[in-house]
Amino acid sequence: MEESTDFLNWDRTQLNKHYEALKEKYAGYKHQAMKLDMSRGKPSPEQLELSISMLDIVTSRDRLTAMDGTDCLNYGGVDGIPEAKQWFASMLGVRSNEIIIGGNSSLTMMHDTLSRAMLHGVRGSEQPWGKLPAVKFLCPSPGYDRHFAICELLNIEMITVDMLQDGPDMDAVEQLVSQDDTIKGMWCVPKYSNPEGITYSDETVDRLANMTTKAADFRIFWDNAYAVHDLTDQPDHLKNMLDACTDAGNADRVFMFCSTSKVTFPGAGVAAMAASVDNVNAIRKQLAVQTIGPDKINQLRHVRFLQDLDHLREHMKQHAAILKPKFDLVLNKLESELGGNNIAAWNRPNGGYFISLNTWDGCAKAVVQMAAEAGVTLTEAGATFPYGNDPRDRNIRIAPSFPSLNELEKSIEVLCICIQLASINKILTA
């Protein structure tokens, strides 16, 4: 009879023996004094190289006017040049007049949009959100730590909602927003969610668009960071949220965000937001006070380099060709090291930048700390939950994009050793 791989079926002798063997392996890795970073969803140098010719595409010899005649070198255009609006509109499936172009960072656009809501309210607000005794946001979790950090900075109370396999737990969401008018908004990473790689189902999108909210000025911050970041030939499909909101008679409900950070360069990209024409007009009025406008030459550079949707898709396939082997390596390694041990569960996303792994309850912090001591930096345990507090202390976000395959292999080996050590320790000390 084959020996069971399930740790729960092992006796203490078996566990102790395995624990000692793992500790020895761990010590060996620790001795190597590695410095491996799997903490952030950062493109690798090879991916950056895919767009390097963009740096040669707008030179002193090129036309520097936008299609409407705007001199891109001079002042003008707080919300972007027409061709950049067209390009982002086609990527997000909206119309040009529903787009506002920003600077290098979509995170900045989200922060600014929420800041403005606090200071002035949004279209339809009776008063600035910051004047209210409390403002709350729904935070499907695990989620993106930097969304949560913005809420914390702005003193917005975060309410955790579970992520299910087809998006946030909509029963919970619908109940919460229907009863509490201090719940003013919600964070969503609707496609290849950070960190679980889940894409919201059509039903989830429709329920979000149609649900009754007690706050009349409720807003969904729709961070479509991975809109075109597919890893496979069978990419997930995301229903158009602006259309869904419009169809539901709630056109103003959604603010969509995206950027080229993981298309061209995180350090020199272009961000954009999309919303109803009424929302866009209201925001543009404030932007006219806030800025002389974002870099128009970089918009030209992007539009000329990325061309159209077909070209973008080909470009993203090149990203996938670099990323997919890394995801596969991680997934295969997790399977070979932990498969059947019954101590961890992980997802197999069709796109995005992360693999989310759940340990046994109460083990994630210990694992992340052990890995760090062996030179492998993971996203801080808890970071994927509001206030950095994972109530079950089990979620670990793996970001395989930046390290080389070789580094990745070592990192995952270390990670798997740490997970086993923490799990066995949990049984032995139970």
Point out which residues bind a copy of itself (CB under 8 A). 40, 42-43, 45, 48, 52-53, 55-56, 58-60, 62, 64, 71-77, 103-105, 107-108, 111-112, 115, 118-120, 130, 146, 149-150, 152-154, 261, 265-268, 286, 289-298
Decide: 427 and 361 in contact? Cβ < 8 Å: no
Residue 22 or 48 with smaller CB distance to a copy of itself: 48
Enter the tokens of residue 289: 């006070």
Residue 59 or 165 with smaller CB distance to a copy of itself: 59
Residue 153 or 309 with smaller CB distance to a copy of itself: 153
- The amino acid present at 261, given as its one-letter code, is S
For Cα atoms 92, 322, 39, give the angle at the middle one, nearest 5 degrees: 80
- Using CA atoms, how far apart are residues 366 and 399, in angstroms rounded to an integer? 18
Q: How far is the CB of 9 from a copy of itself (least distance, A)?
A: 44
- Using CA atoms, how far apart are residues 80 and 293, in angstroms rounded to an integer? 7
| H-helix segments, 231-276 | 241-247
Residue 248 or 322 with smaller CB distance to a copy of itself: 322
- Using CA atoms, how far apart are residues 131 and 222, in angstroms rounded to an integer? 24
The radius of gyration of the chain's CA atoms, rounded to the nearest angstrom, is: 23
Q: How far is the CB of 64 from a copy of itself (least distance, A)?
A: 8
Q: HEC profile for 344-396?
A: EEECCCCECCCEEEEECCCCHHHHHHHHHHCCEEECCCCCCCHHHCCCCCCEE
Residue 160 or 299 with smaller CB distance to a copy of itself: 299
Q: How far is the CB of 118 from a copy of itself (least distance, A)?
A: 6
Q: How far is the CB of 336 from a copy of itself (least distance, A)?
A: 31
Decide: 257 and 220 in contact? Cβ < 8 Å: no
Decide: 185 and 161 in contact? Cβ < 8 Å: no
φ, ψ dihedrals at 315, nearest 5°:
-60, -45
Q: How far is the CB of 245 from a copy of itself (least distance, A)?
A: 27
Residue 38 or 422 with smaller CB distance to a copy of itself: 38
Residue 219 or 302 with smaller CB distance to a copy of itself: 302
Q: How far is the CB of 337 from a copy of itself (least distance, A)?
A: 29
Q: How far is the CB of 89 from a copy of itself (least distance, A)?
A: 21
- Using CA atoms, how far apart are residues 390 and 378, in angstroms rounded to an integer? 15
